[in-house]
Structure 1
Amino acid sequence: MIVTRGLTKRYGRVLAVDGVDLDVREGDRYGFLGPNGSGKTTMVRLLLGLVYATSGEIEVLGERVPARSRSVLPRIGALVEGPAAYPHLSGRQNLALLDAAGPGGSRRTRKSRIEDALEQVGLSGVDRRPVRTYSLGMRQRLGLAAALLRRPSLLILDEPTNGLDPRGIREIRDLLTGLNEAGTTVFLSSHLLAEVEQLCTRVGIVDRGRLVVQDDLATLRAPTGHVEVATPDAARVVAMLDGRVVDRDGERLVVRHADPAALNAALVAEGIRVSAIGTRRRTLEDVVLEVTGHGSDRVAP
């Protein structure tokens, strides 16, 4: 669905995207992550033909971009750097203008497609209020509705849950999961690691313009060779396991062990109470910090 080869973008002396080989497959829910200033939004703009690459190649839906953008873009739904709208018009009026201005939108089905898109994003009850009165969350939902107008086969989204409350984030996650299960490939740039971890099946991580990781999320979150144990008898466990406890936080322990069932049996045999036990896996936060440890925008005194 999306393939790039040696994709590079320079702005003067600034190397925003540095030789990226992206591989987004049909059916993916692909999370694109990285620290602030790592090149995420520039990458999204390159994929949509909004800026031109300094060097490298881009293929989207089997077509070269930007050369074939005119035939590709009608099959893509996109939200980049927040939704754009005429503030004095209503949401429906904005969607109607957007649909009329773009290629491939059927006038005959326009009204039904607008209503379907608004319902999908939770704005079906919106009235004729102008967009300037919308909250940030409502504007974000309207931007998503615009991305869904043409019933695209590929969604390219930059921070789609920005401004939404927890309930709204969950609704958009459920929407994107449902669209993906119905056949839409999702490419999602976000800084919300927990959200990407719950939604996405594959992940790419960029740091200072370079793609440093690209893999299935399940592979990245492989077992660490440790077991997490919750027990009111933590001190006894520490004494019993003789150096195999690598971390302790109150009643919660991390133990160097490959088999939770065998460890549980050994603890219970010693009369130790176990409230919870399970294999410890790397979180997505662990992975990101490991590969982008120096990529902070913190300014030291």
Structure 2
Amino acid sequence: MIVTEGLTKRFGRVTAVDGVDLAVPRGVRFGLLGPNGSGKTTLVRMLLGLVHPTSGTVRLLDRPMPRGAGAVLPRVGALVEGPAAWPHLSGRDNLRLLDAAGRGSRRRGRRDRVEEVLRRVGLGAVDRRPVRAYSLGMRQRLGIAAALLRGPELLLLDEPTNGLDPRGINDVRELLVELNAAGTTVVLSSHLLSEVEALCTRVGVMDRGRLVLTEDLDVLRAPTGRVLVRTPDPAAVVGLLDGQVVGRDGDELVVRGDDPAELNARLVAAGIAVTGLTAQRRSLEQVVLESTGAGSDQVDGGRT
């Protein structure tokens, strides 16, 4: 679906994207993570042909970019660096104009297409007020609606929940899961760990222009080989398990072991009360912190 090799973009002395080799297979929900300034948006813009790379190659839907943009972009929905709109027009009129400008678009069914995407993003009951009177969250929903107009095979969304309240974030998450289940590949760029962790099946982590990690989320959050045990009698657990206890915080202990059920049976057989027991997993936050260096807003040899 997406393949880049050695993709690099320099702006003067600043290298915004540095030798990125990325492969996004069809059908996934891919989260591109990284702090502001790490190169995420520049990478997405190069994927769409909006920015030409200094070096390296991009293939989108099996075609080279930007040379294949004419054939590729009608099959792609995108929201990059915030939604664009004619501010004096209503949301409906904006979408009708966008649909009319689309390559191969037909007038027949246009009204239904516009009403359908407005409904899907929660703007079905919006009135005819101009977009300049919309809240930031409404503008963001309208931008997502525009990305859905053509029934895309691939969605590229840069910070799609920016400006949305918690209900709106949940609505967008459910919509993207629904679209993905119907066959749309979703690529989401965000600096919000919680957003990516809740939605995506595979993640890539960018740090100062480099792609430092790409992996399935389930693999990254696999059990660590330790079990978290909560008990009102931690001293008894320490006494029973001897050297297996590797950490303690109040009534919670970290115990070496791969089988929580076996450990629970052993504690119960010894007459020790257990109030909580779970396999320890790394959080996505831990994974990102281990993979990245200093924040992208720090000055380092001409990079910002």
Q: TM-score range by the shorter chain?
A: over 0.9
Residue of structure 2 equivalent to 1:213 = 213
Query: 1:140-191, CA deviations, whole angstroms, 9 ceiling, x for partnerless residues?
Result: 1010000000010000000111111111111111100010010100011011
Change (3 A) 1:240 1:297: farther
Moved more, 289-298 or 130-139: 289-298
Structure 2 residue 252 is matched with structure 1 residue 241: no
| Secondary structure at 1:144 match in 2 | helix
| Secondary structure at 1:22 match in 2 | strand
Output aligned runs, 1:127-276, within 5 Å. 127-276=127-276
| Secondary structure at 2:163 match in 1 | coil
Quick one: which amino acid aligns to residue 79 of structure 1? Answer: L
The runs of 5 or more residues in structure 1 that have no matched partner are none
Q: Distance between the aligned counterparts of 1:188 and 1:8, measured in 2?
A: 20
| 2:208/2:296 contact within 8 Å kept | no
Residue of structure 1 equivalent to 2:36 = 36
Residue of structure 2 equivalent to 1:70 = 70
| 2:207/2:293 contact within 8 Å kept | no
Moved more, 65-74 or 228-237: 228-237
Query: 1:231-276, CA deviations, whole angstroms, 9 ceiling, x for partnerless residues?
Result: 2223432344334333333333222222111211121122221122
Quick one: which amino acid aligns to residue 122 of structure 1? Answer: G
TM-score, scaled to structure 1 = 0.95
Change (3 A) 1:15 1:110: same
Deviation at 1:298, TM superposition (A): 6.5
Q: Distance between the aligned counterparts of 2:100 and 2:42, measured in 1?
A: 27
Query: 1:59-115, CA deviations, whole angstroms, 9 ceiling, x for partnerless residues?
Result: 001111001111111100000011111222111011111222232322112111111
Paired residues in the alignment total 299
Give identity over the alignment, percent: 69
| Secondary structure at 1:105 match in 2 | coil
Q: Distance between the aligned counterparts of 2:36 and 2:221, measured in 1?
A: 23
Change (3 A) 1:48 1:231: same
Q: Distance between the aligned counterparts of 1:123 and 1:232, measured in 2?
A: 51
Q: Distance between the aligned counterparts of 1:128 and 1:246, measured in 2?
A: 63
Moved more, 85-94 or 59-68: 85-94
Residue of structure 2 equivalent to 1:113 = 113
Deviation at 1:230, TM superposition (A): 2.0
Deviation at 1:34, TM superposition (A): 1.1
Output aligned runs, 1:25-64, within 5 Å. 25-64=25-64
| 1:35/1:292 contact within 8 Å kept | no
